[in-house]
Amino acid sequence: MRRVAAALLVLAAACSCGESQRTPAERGREVYLANCTACHASDPNAAGTLGPPVAGASRELLEARVLRAEYPPGYQPVRDTRVMVALPHLAGSIDDLAAYLAEAKR
C-alpha cells in the first residue's frame, strides 16, 4: 500500500512539473484547439465555418465573447451574430488564450 501511495505522489509531481514548463501561448493553443475550432478555423488567421479569424483578438474581446457571449462596449464586430455561446468554464484560460492568439497573429 505504501508503494502505491509513493508511486502516486511521484506521478502527481511529474504531471505538475510538465504543466509549469509550458508557456501561456502553448496552453492557450490547447484551449483554442479543444474549444474554438468547432466554429473557428484551426489557423486563427483564417475564417472558420461559423466564426471569423480571431488571431490578435484582445484580452478584453476574448473575455466578453468567451465568458459572456457579448461584445465589449464600443466594439464594432466583424460579424454581428449571436451564434457564439458563453463558455464560462474557460474563465481561467483567458490569459493563455490571449497569449496564443497574440502570438498567432501574422
Q: What is the tally of structural domains in the chain? A: 1
CB–CB of 101/32 below 8 Å?
yes
* Residue range of the domain that includes 64: 23-104
**Residue 33 has what pLDDT?**
98
Q: Does residue 90 lie within any of the structural domains?
A: yes
Q: Does residue 91 lie within any of the structural domains?
A: yes
Q: Give mean pLDDT in consecutive 10-residue pieces for the chain, a chain of 106 residues.
A: 53 55 98 97 96 96 97 88 93 98 94
Q: Does residue 7 lie within any of the structural domains?
A: no
CATH (domain of 73): 1.10.760
Burial tier of 49 (Cβ tally within 10 Å: 0-12, 13-18, 19+): exposed
